[in-house]
Structure 1
Amino acid sequence: MTDPSQYVRQRHNDGSRDVRWPAAPEPLAVPLYDNHAHLEIADGDEPRTLAEQLELAVGVGVMGVVQAGGDIESSVWSAEAAASHPRVLAAVAIHPNEAPAYEEAGRLDEAIAVIDELAAQPRVRAIGETGLDFFRTEPDGIPAQLRSFEAHIELAKKHDLAMQIHDRDAHDAVLDALERVGAPARTVFHCFSGDDAMARIAAERGYYLSFAGNVTFKNAQNLRDALAVTPRERILVETDAPFLTPIPHRGRPNAPYLIPVTVRFMAAELGADLDEFCAQVAANTLAVYGAFED
């Protein structure tokens, strides 16, 4: 049994990052949720426990977190965290960058079988993160990624779960696979990385787009363009913690309590009333994953 009070791994730090935790932002008047985080990864000058992360999040109006796995170990940790904490739901999967290594070791089918077993647990509400990554994986690893992705799509449909997609430099291939295999009813592009044209296609197909802290980055106009054309009822927000910390804290440790920074930026970018926007994004999250507290 994995202990969710212990970390799975430590985020690499070569000494060039500022690892001090940012100050907590002003609390939101209308609460919402972080729909994708990796709280099994320790970060910061003083790593915080899962319970501490959740307490800080609730203090600023972030009432729950979807904790995402990317291999067997982190997926088991995610499921155990969700079973232990009413403010955590789990997503479980083999990350596309891990799939070639499992395949090379002759363990990809075994790993997918573990995900299948975890997916049956009541507080596992998504298959993710799965998808395709043509940035980090060499061409000879792409067949394993595709096989894994297609298997995960089938698992999401088998268990009637949402699916969180990792898509890096693979937009067309991801969209093609979803059409070929048949997308799950609730499909989320985690940390959406496309442009407005892709956002329109995704919205037409009924997919959800989840925006992370990088929507605030100066060089991410494509994400702001995508946000502008995405129907409000298809928008989600996430941290991808401990990564993608929003401006003005870029490079420092990220965590669910910083969601208000990103969501305030998104509402301002859209010219939306903050409270109405938070209410819509919260409703979207619950529509995708169901209630956090039983």
Structure 2
Amino acid sequence: MGPLWEVLLLLLIVPVVEGGKQQLLQQQQQQQQLQQQLEQHLQQQLQQQLQQQQLRQPRKMKPKRIQLKYKTGWDKPFLHYEATSASCSGGWADYQLQDSSVEGWQEGLLLLPADLISLEFVFSNKEKEMWDNPPNPNRFNRMNYFFNFNELEEEKEKEKEKGKEKGKEKEKEKEKEKEKEKEKEKEKEGYDEYLLVVADGEVAGMSVHPNSSSSSSSSSSSSSSSRQLVYNTGRNLKDFLNAAGENDLPKPDFAILGVGTEVYTFPGVSAAEHSHFSLLLSPEEQKQHQGL
């Protein structure tokens, strides 16, 4: 090949090489731009998620103090429980109840995280040879008691909204004032308090006022601003109402029936405007079971 051919070949190769470099450089620039856009998009998503999480979280979260009242013939039984919070699941733990000042009752006090979501539990005797299971399985198909704190709070908020919509203006103002007073009372205390009552798997055996042995309560009313009375039983609504009437039970804030499958609120406590409220009741059933 002569010098002329070599010159011609170089003239052909150089533009190709230069063009290839420019194309490669453009591709690299495009990749960098895409990477930057992706990083910006991910950062925006994270910021949005954090903002949404902050909006979902209550402004003031307090540890939850749960007072347990358990009617049983066992002496110093164990509560076997798992407390699940938004941050983690603490696993199963044991807590031994103590004698109450009221005969036939055992009691205890659990202090749980502020972001508590649910509590699943069951009782056993001191030797852990016998277990008090509810008559029906819970939503996880386990023979344990279960209730969800988020659902209880959601039901309470729904009732507040419905009461505001149906109430008169004066009644609305009264409710607002009551809520303000409750908030002030709660601010004085360092905990959100709950009273949980279980009577050998059934509420029917309870004939003693649950608050009568509470030394920390200034009032025997279950609707105290710092307490919520919760009944947890495997009975259905009709059986529960019959048992409540026969045993003259105090009116609760909530009744968790069907082992966590049904949640009810009651008039004058958490449902201000309703003679008897439940999303799960028909109007006929509401009339039939009015006045617990």
The question of a shared fold, defined as TM-score above 0.5 by the shorter chain, is answered with: no
Which protein is richer in helix relative to its size? 1
Larger radius of gyration between Structure 1 and Structure 2: 2
**TM-score with structure 2 setting the length:** 0.27
**TM-score with structure 1 setting the length:** 0.27
